[in-house]
Amino acid sequence: GENVEQHPSTLSVQEGDSAVIKCTYSDSASNYFPWYKQELGKGPQLIIDIRSNVGEKKDQRIAVTLNKTAKHFSLHITETQPEDSAVYFCAASKTGKLIFGQGTTLQVKP
Amino acid sequence: DTAVSQTPKYLVTQMGNDKSIKCEQNLGHDTMYWYKQDSKKFLKIMFSYNNKELIINETVPNRFSPKSPDKAHLNLHINSLELGDSAVYFCASSTPSGVGFAGELFFGEGSRLTVL
């Protein structure tokens, strides 16, 4: 089955800096790659997603890139703010079942 | 108005007891899920129902039994609770999926189960 590896497990940046989180997946048939943000005491919430026919997608300060050949995708957050502090999960899917990465705890220091 | 609501939010119980967690969504979605999040934050799918029909059943012990009385509700009953069942359980519903990919998941706020 699909396996998703996510790195780093923790990331600390200064406010205003960029943050990058990387994921690799094992099943080359996976074709949908969402990113979820989980704030303390809340459920995860979708922040951006990308499908396999697209190499890059951007939404304001966040962007996702996908390299299907290498089977990896990344989340980029620019101009980080304290409210970006949360746990971020990548996921991969081909059949409607999402397989999540292990999560990255991002801390943005003011 | 909460989109996906689950109760209770906290549950503390003794080993061997039976407990239930309830979930309701008012988004009109056909598909609902239960996810388990362990102490290391790892999110793992347990079950998925589409319009009251079980479509995903991961390798979960038989002590866990989901029930969907209608497409807006998905409950989780756990028999003979064990220490390892301690986790946060998330209910979610999703928008219709496209061909071959999952729709957006809308999660509840989670139910933290502690087994003593």
B41 touches chain A (CB under 8 A): yes
* The predicted structure's pLDDT at residue B107: 95
* The predicted structure's pLDDT at residue B113: 97
**CA distances, B33 to each of A51, A104, B43 (Å):** 22, 23, 12
Task: Provide the phi-psi class of A61: left if phi over 0, else alpha when psi is between -120 and 50, else beta.
Answer: alpha
Q: What is the mean pLDDT of residues B8-35?
A: 95
Strand A99-100 to B4-7 pairing:
unpaired
**Closest chain B residue by Cα to residue A87:** B41
**Closest chain B residue by Cα to residue A100:** B43
* DSSP conformation class of B41: -
Candidate from A48-52, A75-79, B11-15 with smallest mean pLDDT:
A48-52
| pLDDT > 70: percent of chain B | 92
SS3 (DSSP) at A89 = strand
Q: What is the mean pLDDT of residues B4-13?
A: 96
Q: What is the mean pLDDT of residues B82-93?
A: 96
Average confidence score pLDDT of chain B: 90
Partners of residue A42 in chain B, C-beta under 8 Å: 107, 109-110
* The predicted structure's pLDDT at residue B67: 93
Subunit contact B43:A89, Cβ cutoff 8 A: yes
Q: Which of B98, B104, B93, B102 is closest to B70 using CA atoms?
A: B93
Tens digits of per-residue pLDDT, B24-80? 999 998 889 999 999 999 999 999 888 888 888 887 899 999 999 998 999 999 999
* The predicted structure's pLDDT at residue B99: 53
Partners of residue B90 in chain A, C-beta under 8 Å: 43-44
Subunit contact A43:B108, Cβ cutoff 8 A: yes
CB-CB: which of B100, B103, B107 is closest to A95?
A: B100
Cα–Cα distance for residue pair A56/A51, rounded to 1 Å = 9
Partners of residue A100 in chain B, C-beta under 8 Å: 42-44
* The predicted structure's pLDDT at residue B95: 76
* The predicted structure's pLDDT at residue B1: 66
- Give the residue, B101 or B104, on which the prediction is more confident: B104
Q: What is the mean pLDDT of residues A16-26?
A: 97
Tens digits of per-residue pLDDT, A70-83? 999 999 999 999 99
**CA distances, B110 to each of A4, A13, A32, B42, B107 (Å):** 23, 28, 25, 14, 8
Cα–Cα distance for residue pair B97/B102, rounded to 1 Å = 5
